[in-house]
Amino acid sequence: MEFWYTEEWTENIRFGVKVTQHVYHQHSDFQQVDVFKSEELGTFLTLDGLMMVNEKDEFVYHDMIVHTPMAVNPNIKKVLVIGGGDGGTVRELTRYPHIEQIDMVEIDELVVRASQEWIPQCASQLDDSRVNLYFEDGVAFCAQAKNATYDLIIVDSTDPIGPGEGLFTTAFYTDCHRILSEQGILVNQNESPYFAHNAKEMQRAHAKLQTIFQVSRVYQAHIPTYPSGHWLFGFASKGLDPIQDAKFAQWNEFGLQTKYYNTDLHVGSFALPTYVLEMLANAK
Amino acid sequence: MEFWYTEEWTENIRFGVKVTQHVYHQHSDFQQVDVFKSEELGTFLTLDGLMMVNEKDEFVYHDMIVHTPMAVNPNIKKVLVIGGGDGGTVRELTRYPHIEQIDMVEIDELVVRASQEWIPQCASQLDDSRVNLYFEDGVAFCAQAKNATYDLIIVDSTDPIGPGEGLFTTAFYTDCHRILSEQGILVNQNESPYFAHNAKEMQRAHAKLQTIFQVSRVYQAHIPTYPSGHWLFGFASKGLDPIQDAKFAQWNEFGLQTKYYNTDLHVGSFALPTYVLEMLANAK
């Protein structure tokens, strides 16, 4: 007998993972939370039947969403993480001793608790003394936050359907801009260019960010368990350019061991395929 | 009723494509050749149940395997393609008017005939007057070829199992080196770093190329329908460096419209994730 977790990347494309055990299944107020064990990917967590995080490739996503902005401005001290319930983003942030404050705003406490129980590889640093956990709506949290509170905002969200929807709006990005310091950076998971429905969301998010932020760029990574394996991140700032202003020597002096990110790849990740550049240029 | 083409990326990972029609199914002397139609990927061809080429993402592979070496040495005039039965590599090569000769050595004529019938998007230029088709074993062809015959060899092979096996051997690479001109380049599809069995072949191929060629580098692309979507190419030469020696201005003057490749991405594609760099450094 075999159990397969099957995700519909589109109506016509499926990605399947052979599962050894379905260890967690709960409906929260916001979504369905499941945890599975598998031989190939280790333990993995899904929300509403979509892969969020697994032990095998989570390093790619978390490296790219954290170390990229940290190399552009290695003096970042105050960080806001929106979403990120699995804890992987916070884990990477806590590796910088000079970061003073990490506020994490996750709407769904159940995601955090499930991750703490089943995926400590990600959630292990959520009890770091610099971390403040808020189980609240990230949109409302940012609307209420004071001007120039953060040096870095990481939008570590689900897709723009369900609880993640508000995190792809102009109102939210405008608040992010307001509560960022002058050297501040916003990084967001920015969907994929490959399948049409993901590409549409990617374009919509980029178009909005571009209107609000002085600098708005997109970079890419190989994340095999997300639809198409071709995933994008947005980088937005009030002026810092992700390559020209990067402090690679300073970042390398931190001596952090990383499995995916390095400063050459940082530069390379902003070099996008022509069809993606065209999609971004035509984004509305 | 639904038909799904399902490929086992590993024993524990499956990739499925909803099929509208199974239009071709033949056993050649070498392998099983199938062609399917689908809504998401258009028409696609498989060999022994492995995705070789589909209308939706073939541009990535063919852009990267052809334009990358052509930008390093835009004066390439004589090209040898080993494998490449679908014709996509030849199609991209024929876009350079100054290329004088394209010898394509495909062991399996059936792959060419099936592609000509069902995937003209790829096979359309195989009747270009500069193209010489040889339905022969690529290993034997190279063993018999004269010294310094080619400026570029593209190894557009299947995996190193079955008919493609000889194309991953030291003897074959040694002949390639011998029949390349001094400014010559060898490019090969070099498997994937992500799933263990692909990564092992990637390391083996790289280790051999490194012993034989003065320059041996690896570059990457996003190919969603190959296992993990993270695919690598090898670049080997007698001295030309894929970045330092590239003639980007000259290449851009050709004015070729490409969907994936561009000269910024060329540079970026050689910036590999840290775990891949470590695999290559430890390759035996």
The single residue of A156, A175, A241, A264 carrying the catalytic annotation is: A156
* Overall average pLDDT of the B202-222 stretch: 97
Mutate to test the interface with A, among B230, B232, B261 (most CBs of A within 10 A): B230
Measured in angstroms, the CA of A243 and the nearest CA of chain B are apart by 13
Q: Hey, CA dihedral for B74, B79, B80, B82, is it positive or negative? A: positive
Non-local CB neighbours of B156 within 8 Å, separated by 6+ positions:
B65, B81, B82, B83, B84, B89, B189
Shared domain for B36 and B177, answered yes or no, is no
- Chain A with chain B: Cβ pairs closer than 8 A: 132
Measured in angstroms, the CA of A31 and the nearest CA of chain B are apart by 25
pLDDT at B161 > cutoff 90 = no
* Overall average pLDDT of the A177-200 stretch: 96
pLDDT at B164 > cutoff 90 = no
Place of tokens 């159940």: A110
What's the CATH code of the domain at A40?
2.30.140.10
- Looking at per-residue pLDDT, the higher value among B39 and A167 belongs to B39
How many C-beta atoms surround the C-beta of residue A183 within 10 A? 16
Q: Is A275 on the interface with B (CB under 8 A)?
A: yes
Q: Is B267 on the interface with A (CB under 8 A)?
A: yes
How many C-beta atoms surround the C-beta of residue A137 within 10 A? 17
What's the CATH code of the domain at A169?
3.40.50.150
| Cα–Cα distance, B267 to B281 (Å, whole number) | 20
Looking at residue B115, its pLDDT comes to 98
Looking at residue B162, its pLDDT comes to 79
- Lookup: tokens for B145: 């070829």
Q: pLDDT tens, B80-101?
A: 999 999 999 999 999 999 999 9
Shared domain for B177 and B277, answered yes or no, is yes
Q: Is A272 on the interface with B (CB under 8 A)?
A: yes
**How far does chain B reach from its first CA to its final CA, in angstroms?**
48
Q: Buried (b) or exposed (e) across B34-46, using 16+ Cβ within 10 A? A: bbbbbebbebbbb
Shared domain for A167 and A236, answered yes or no, is yes
Shared domain for B7 and B99, answered yes or no, is no
Shared domain for B147 and B78, answered yes or no, is yes
**Nearest partner of B226 among B208, B256, B201, B257, judged by Cα:** B201
The single residue of B108, B156, B159, B175 carrying the catalytic annotation is: B156
Average pLDDT over chain A reads 97
Measured in angstroms, the CA of A246 and the nearest CA of chain B are apart by 16
B-chain residues near A251 (CB < 8 A): none
DSSP H/E element including B185: strand B180-189
* Overall average pLDDT of the A61-73 stretch: 98
Measured in angstroms, the CA of A209 and the nearest CA of chain B are apart by 23
* Overall average pLDDT of the A168-181 stretch: 96
**How far does chain A reach from its first CA to its final CA, in angstroms?**
48
Show the domain range for B148. 58-281
Shared domain for A106 and A153, answered yes or no, is yes
Q: Maximum CA pair distance of chain A? A: 58
Q: pLDDT tens, B33-81?
A: 999 999 999 999 999 999 999 999 999 999 999 999 999 999 999 999 9
Share of chain A above pLDDT 70, in %: 100
Looking at residue A98, its pLDDT comes to 98
How many C-beta atoms surround the C-beta of residue A230 within 10 A? 26
Q: pLDDT tens, A103-133?
A: 999 999 999 999 999 999 999 999 999 999 9
Domain boundary pick from B19, B34, B52: B52
Shared domain for B248 and B157, answered yes or no, is yes
Q: Compare CB distances from B229 to A18, A222, A260 and report the shortest one's residue.
A: A222
* Overall average pLDDT of the A39-48 stretch: 98
- Lookup: tokens for A149: 């509170």
**Residues 116 through 155 of chain B touching chain A, CB cutoff 8 Å:** none
Shared domain for A118 and A203, answered yes or no, is yes
Q: pLDDT tens, B186-201?
A: 999 999 999 999 999 9
Shared domain for A25 and A160, answered yes or no, is no
Shared domain for A161 and A252, answered yes or no, is yes
Q: What is the 3-state secondary structure (H, E, C) of A7-34?
A: EEEECCEEEEEEEEEEEEEEECCCCEEE
How far is the CA of B120 from the CAs of B53, B64, B115, in angstroms? 12, 20, 6
Mutate to test the interface with A, among B4, B5, B12, B36 (most CBs of A within 10 A): B12
- From start to end of A61-113, where are the E strands? 78-83, 101-105
Residue B159 pLDDT class (50, 70, 90 cuts): confident
Q: Taking phi first (over 0 means left), then psi (-120 to 50 degrees means alpha), and beta for anything else, what does residue A87 get?
A: left
How many C-beta atoms surround the C-beta of residue A217 within 10 A? 19
φ and ψ at residue B274, rounded to 5 degrees: -55, -40
Does the annotation mark B241 as catalytic? no
pLDDT at A272 > cutoff 90 = yes
Predicted TM-score of the model (pTM): 0.97
A-chain residues near B17 (CB < 8 A): 12-14
Q: Is A263 on the interface with B (CB under 8 A)?
A: no
Measured in angstroms, the CA of B186 and the nearest CA of chain A are apart by 23
Contact predicate A265/B271, CB 8 Å: yes
Q: pLDDT tens, B10-32?
A: 999 999 999 999 999 999 999 99
Average pLDDT over chain B reads 97
Predicted ipTM of the assembly = 0.97
pLDDT at B284 > cutoff 90 = no
**Nearest partner of B228 among B273, B272, B196, B200, judged by Cα:** B196
| Cα–Cα distance, A113 to B255 (Å, whole number) | 55
Give the number of domains in chain B: 2
Share of chain B above pLDDT 90, in %: 95
Interchain contact, A222 vs B14, CB within 8 Å: no
Shared domain for B30 and B63, answered yes or no, is no
Residue A269 pLDDT class (50, 70, 90 cuts): very high
Shared domain for B43 and B74, answered yes or no, is no
Looking at residue A88, its pLDDT comes to 98
pLDDT at A204 > cutoff 90 = yes
For Cα atoms A202, A206, A212, give the angle at the middle one, nearest 5 degrees.
Answer: 155
Interchain contact, B273 vs A267, CB within 8 Å: no
- Lookup: tokens for B109: 């004529």
